[in-house]
């Protein structure tokens, strides 16, 4: 199986000549008539972005995440560094580099957005020198965002305190992160963002907008049970959605310490991907929502005032690149 570093696009260059090689790459692109940054906006990037491909990432997975970051950068021009730790150590402090650049044209020639990639492959022995190389690759006057993808253990990231401490946001995906990802003592826990929560934005908005048509006290009174059911593939989304409902219902005045919150599996023949049910002590109070992410169809059924309401709606998750921007900026 090829290493992650080899699976990513780009031109291999000497580690000590990354900046010079990037300049030569853009000069060659301009000479060939391909889109390239103008001389006065060659540094017009908006963010520093570090994608750290952990030891659990495969070459196919790495290529998919590379594409996600590329799509993200079409909206937010970025200097992107991709860290590729080696699975098997090699002798000496080996570090290899690749560069890759691409410009995207908008509706006019003046609407040109360019992205620069630097891929760094490093051995365990070279790990102590990584911060020095990163400081050269990143723009010091731009905010830093750090995405730790498929890391094998939270403790392994302790070696990257430079990134964890400096990053404005640290993104992880709790669907694939180690179990202790949210209990680990991160250097800056307020910077941590879960991509599962970000992906759920359309679902949270849809349910929240529907329930906002009722008085909060009506939603909270006599609430006894909150159940979020999910299919096999959406266990993380079910868990995160249940935690969000707990916070929002508490904000409505519900005595959540006396409410039973349950995360359950959908029956095999139930269909759908996610479902929410609020159970009340009052006989004429109920709320249910179901959503099928495969078909994009959802439905509401509620009775809070003696008149039953049903509504068909759509359902989706954010695209990976949109979830990134949601986690980073909101």
Rounded Cα distance, 300 and 312, in Å: 6
Largest CA distance in the chain: 75
Provide the b/e sequence for 158-180 (b: ≥16 CB within 10 Å). eebebbbebbebbbbbbbbbbee
Average pLDDT over the chain reads 91
- Tokens representing 236 are 């993380």
Q: At what angle do helices 59-73 and 320-329 cross, to 10 degrees?
A: 60
Query: Taking the CB of residue 39, how many other CB atoms lie within 10 A of it?
Result: 9
- Tokens representing 245 are 């409902």
The DSSP symbol for 221 reads T
- Range name among 104-108, 124-128, 200-204, 286-290 with the lowest pLDDT average: 104-108
Instruction: State pLDDT tens for residues 64-121.
Output: 999 999 999 988 989 999 999 987 765 567 899 999 998 887 777 677 788 899 999 9
pLDDT of the residue at 44: 60
- Tokens representing 49 are 């972005």
When computed from its CA atoms, the radius of gyration of the chain, rounded to whole angstroms, is 23
Instruction: State pLDDT tens for residues 146-190.
Output: 999 999 899 888 889 999 999 999 999 999 999 899 889 999 999
Rounded Cα distance, 120 and 21, in Å: 14
Nearest Cα neighbor of 241 from 298, 187, 281 is 298
The residue ranges of every structural domain in the chain are 4-195, 201-314
**Residue with the larger pLDDT of the pair 14 and 306:** 14
Kind plus residue range of the DSSP H or E element containing 7: helix 4-7
Q: What is the pLDDT confidence band of residue 1, given thresholds at 50, 70 and 90?
A: very low
How confident is the model over 277-289, as a mean pLDDT? 91
**Residue with the larger pLDDT of the pair 307 and 97:** 97
Burial of 290 from C-beta contacts in 10 A (0-12 / 13-18 / 19+): buried
Q: What are phi and psi of 280, to 5 degrees?
A: -125, 155
Instruction: State pLDDT tens for residues 14-39.
Output: 999 999 999 999 888 888 777 777 65
- Check: CB of residue 83 under 8 Å from CB of residue 96: no
Number of H helices, E strands in the chain: 10, 14
């Amino acid at each position: 199986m090829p290493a992650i570093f080899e699976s990513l696009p780009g031109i291999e260059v000497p580690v000590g000549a990354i900046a010079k090689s990037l300049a030569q790459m853009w000069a060659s692109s301009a000479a060939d008539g391909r889109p390239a940054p103008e001389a006065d906006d060659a540094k017009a990037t908006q963010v520093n972005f570090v994608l750290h491909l952990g030891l659990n990432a495969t070459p196919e997975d790495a290529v998919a995440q590379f594409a996600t970051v590329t799509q993200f950068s079409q909206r937010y021009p970025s200097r992107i560094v991709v860290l590729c730790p080696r699975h098997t150590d090699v002798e000496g402090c080996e570090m290899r580099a690749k560069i890759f650049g691409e410009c995207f044209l908008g509706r006019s020639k003046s609407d040109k957005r360019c992205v620069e990639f630097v891929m760094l492959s490093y051995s365990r022995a070279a790990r102590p020198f990584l911060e020095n190389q990163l400081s050269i690759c990143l723009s010091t006057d731009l905010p830093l965002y750090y995405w730790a993808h498929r890391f094998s253990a939270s403790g392994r990231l302790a070696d990257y305190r430079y990134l964890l401490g400096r990053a404005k946001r640290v993104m992880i995906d709790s669907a694939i992160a180690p179990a202790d990802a949210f209990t680990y003592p991160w250097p800056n826990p307020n910077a941590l963002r879960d991509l599962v929560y970000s992906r759920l934005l359309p679902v949270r908005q849809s349910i929240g907008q529907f329930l906002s048509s009722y008085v909060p006290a009506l939603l909270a009174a006599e609430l006894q049970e909150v159940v979020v059911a999910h299919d096999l593939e959406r266990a993380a989304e079910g868990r995160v959605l249940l935690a969000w409902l707990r916070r929002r219902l508490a904000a409505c005045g519900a005595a959540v310490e006396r409410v039973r919150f349950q995360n359950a599996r959908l029956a095999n023949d139930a269909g759908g991907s996610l479902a929410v049910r609020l159970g009340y002590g009052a006989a004429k109070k109920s709320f249910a929502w179901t959503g099928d992410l495969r078909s994009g169809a959802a439905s509401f059924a509620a009775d809070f005032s003696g008149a039953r309401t049903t509504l068909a709606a759509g359902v989706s998750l954010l695209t990976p690149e949109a979830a990134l921007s949601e986690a980073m900026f909101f």
